[in-house]
Structure 1
Amino acid sequence: MSSPHGRGWRAAARLLAPAGALIIGLLATGSPAHAAPSAAELRKQISEKSDQLEKVVEQYNKLNAQLKQTRAEAAALQVELGPLEVKADQAKGNVARIAATAYRTGSFSGWNALLDSSGDGKLLARLSSLDQLATSQRSQIDEARRAAGDRFEVKAALDARLQEQTTRFTVVETQRKGIERDLAALKELRRKAGLLDEKSSTYTGSIPKYKGKAGIAVSFAYKQLGKPYVWGADGPGGYDCSGLTMAAWKAAGVGLYHQAATQWRETTHISRSQLLPGDLVFYSGLGHVAIYVGSGKVIHAPTTGEVVKVASVNMMSPYGYGRVRV
């Protein structure tokens, strides 16, 4: 007769047997295969990747704009330096001639004039001439000193700008290469999801008429419908989000920075109820921006593989609304 303890062990063994077989099976076959992501999962990944990439592109736009500004300032300093170089060289030449004359004639011309046996009238005339000569020499020496100082100051500022330009260029290039890699990954995700790039087209539909500079900006935005999203671009062949809003308002004679976050700071913040055509609508933590065109619609440059299009102002949860200062 078997003991209760023996029956308990056999029951436990029967319960554990399937689990043991499973463990052995896993060890034999390795890790279980992962199912391919569904279309919905791929679309979610594409959306997340697009949002991340757009924020990086906007950072790049800011750095690139700063680089352009630094280059412009360096070029202006270079132009300013040219005449200063000429002036400083001329002043330096004048001082060199003064020094050469003093060397040839000696430094006792004033005493020689005093010891001269001519009459008092001629003596006073000579002393006056000597005093004028000394004054002229001092003036030329002072001018040379000022010219040299001006040249040194501008040259130092130019060198600093060129150094800053080099540093910014290195950062921009590094970020650009990173964006290109991220863009390739995004395109691969789109390929796996079976998403084809939208074809560019020319807009031929009606354009609402609004007055003033806002009307010009809105009209410009409509005319860009169908053009491709191109990261870092502000037209005319393609746009990214802040490049489109910048170009639209540039057409109206108003300058905006090529970055959504900076455009937010450049605008007067308003409420949803105050929205008027031409106002800017910001999304995704200031990572995306669109231009409001009325009737609850915006025009924006969405993401890679897509074209400039009309969308609902609620296409995403708006971050805020800004009115361009004109």
Structure 2
Amino acid sequence: MPSARILLRSLVLTGLAVGLIAPATVAQAEPSAAELTQQINKSSSELEKVIESYNKLNEQIKVTKATAAQLAVKLGPLEQQATQSRAEVTALATKAYKQGNLRTADALLGDDGAESLLDRLGTLDYLARDREQRLADLTASQQQYIDQKARVDATLAKQTAQAKELEAGKKKIEGEISKLNETRRKVYGTASNAGSKYTGKIPAIDGDAGKAVTFAYNAIGKPYVFAADGPNGYDCSGLTSAAWRAAGQSLPHNAEMQRDRTTPISRSQLQAGDLVFYNNLSHVALYVGSGKVIHAPQVGESVTLASVDMMTPQGFGRVG
């Protein structure tokens, strides 16, 4: 077949192929609402892990700062004591030197000088050694605290560096939230589903657990806010922390650390006020009884009442 005819035939076949493929490509361009919803849930789940890591580091930095401050308070008086003892020893040495020379001359001129001199020098030597020992003890104690403070400072410096890294991560998180919001607009027509305040009857529960549960019911409808623990918004561990803070109990703002701070229980032991953990300890909710929990779900949603089996529970903990 002549080359011109082959070329013409190739162009015709290519054009036909393009015509057959193009419509199918256009038809698959936009994902369905169901696919977008699945994408939102998957992205939100991954984002929550990053948010909880951010919360955990913030809690660790708080503890390190408090420890460093306590050591600094202890080091101050210790340094003053060491300085005073050093001055006492210096003054004693100077006095001993001066008096020793004078008494040596007196001993040479007096009848009982030798015995008197030995007694005096022995007493001065004892006092000097006593002061030196006290100084050594104080210096050792001071050094111990200095070493501890140095370790804390090193830890604090490391965590401060990590906090700077997380600050950059925070910007990335906010960027991901913006993408999620845009996807939510495509599916729901809005970036956030505004919740409604709970108007039903709040269960009457005795003790601190009742205070925590009441707080959680009153938080229903408030928006999920990244790394927030109220009063205008919450993330998951921020809500449980705030609820138990209202009951006089302190919980760290991190799901994993809350698990470590609570007493493990079985599902059959669940009582109102207990914590329920999900998603590899990146999500936590407050159990309120009757198979229900209150939690801050994810970006774009609000604090809500849900089934304890909204996800597969991976642990239960009791506060106090």
Q: TM-score, normalised by structure 2?
A: 0.83
Residue matched to 1:191: 185
Q: Residue 191 of structure 1: CA displacement?
A: 3.1
SS at match of 2:184: helix
Task: Output the aligned Cα RMSD.
Answer: 3.1
User: In the aligned structure 2, how far is the partner of 1:80 from the partner of 1:87?
Assistant: 11
- Which of 221, 228, 233 lines up with 1:226 in the alignment? 221
Q: Which amino acid aligns with 2:269?
A: Q
Which residue of the other structure, out of 311, 319, 323, is the alignment partner of 2:314?
319
- Cα pair 1:110 1:130 within 8 Å, conserved: no
Q: Give the corresponding residue for 1:133.
A: 124
Aligned residue among 285, 294, 310 for 1:290: 285
In structure 2, do the counterparts of structure 1 residues 84 and 22 end up closer, same or farther at CA, with 3 Å as the change threshold?
farther
Matches within 5 A, 1:4-83: 20-23=14-17, 32-33=25-26, 34-83=28-77
Once the two structures are superposed, what CA deviation does each residue of 1:134-157 show, in whole Å capped at 9, x if it has no partner?
A: 222222222222222222222222
Q: CA deviation at 1:113?
A: 6.0
* Structure-2 residue corresponding to 1:247: 242
1:96 counterpart (78, 85, 90):
90
Deviates more, 1:269-278 or 1:46-55: 269-278
- Distance in 1 (CA, whole Å) between partners of 2:220 and 2:75 is 46
Question: 1:165 corresponds to which letter in structure 2?
Answer: L
Residues 143 and 109 of structure 1: is their aligned pair in 2 closer, same or farther, counting only changes over 3 Å? farther
* 2:273 matched residue in structure 1: 278
1:182 matched to which residue of 2? 176
Secondary structure of the residue aligned to 1:290 is: strand
- 1:128 CA drift (Å): 4.0
Normalising by structure 1, report the TM-score: 0.82
Q: CA deviation at 1:111?
A: 5.0
Rounded to whole Å, the distance in 2 between the matches of 1:159 and 1:143 is 24
Give the equivalent residue in structure 1 for 2:141: 150
Q: Which runs of 5+ in 1 are unaligned?
A: 1-13
Deviation string 1:142-174 (CA, Å, 9 cap, x unpaired) is: 222222222222222212212211211221232
Cα distance in 2 for residues equivalent to 1:128 and 1:204: 91
Query: Residue in 2 aligned with 1:5?
Result: none
Residue 110 (structure 2) aligns with: 117
- Measure, in 2, the Cα distance between the counterparts of 1:261 and 1:253: 20
Answer with 281-290 or 92-101: which moved more: 92-101
State whether residues 197 and 220 of structure 2, in contact with CA within 8 Å, keep that contact through their aligned partners in structure 1: yes
Residues 1:171 and 2:162 aligned together: yes
**Displacement of 1:52:** 0.4
How many corresponding residue pairs?
308
Deviation (angstroms), 1:36: 1.8
Choose the corresponding residue for 1:84, options 62, 78, 82: 78
- Quick one: which of 230, 237, 250 aligns to 2:232? 237
For 1:6, the equivalent position in structure 2 comes to none
Shift of 1:183: 2.4
Mark the CA change 1:81 to 1:204 in structure 2 (over 3 Å): closer, same or farther. Answer: farther
Distance 1:274 1:149, change over 3 A: closer
For 2:300, the equivalent position in structure 1 comes to 305
Higher Rg: 1
Instruction: Report SS of the residue matched to 2:286.
Output: strand
Residue 260 of structure 2 aligns with which residue?
Answer: 265
Contact 1:220 1:248 in 2 (8 A): yes
C-alpha deviation, 1:112, in angstroms: 4.7
Structure 2 Cα separation of the partners of residues 53 and 132 of structure 1:
74
Q: Which range moves more in the overlay, 284-293 or 106-115?
A: 106-115
Q: Structure 2, unaligned stretches of length 5 or more?
A: 1-8
**CA drift at 1:75:** 0.8
Deviation at 1:223, TM superposition (A): 2.2
The alignment partner of 1:166 has SS state of helix
Query: Does structure 2 conserve the Cα–Cα contact (< 8 Å) formed by 1:110 and 1:127?
Result: no
Look up the equivalent residue of 1:235 and give its one-letter code: G
Aligned with 1:256: secondary structure? coil
Deviations 1:69-107 (A, max 9, x none): 11110111111111112112112222332343355x286
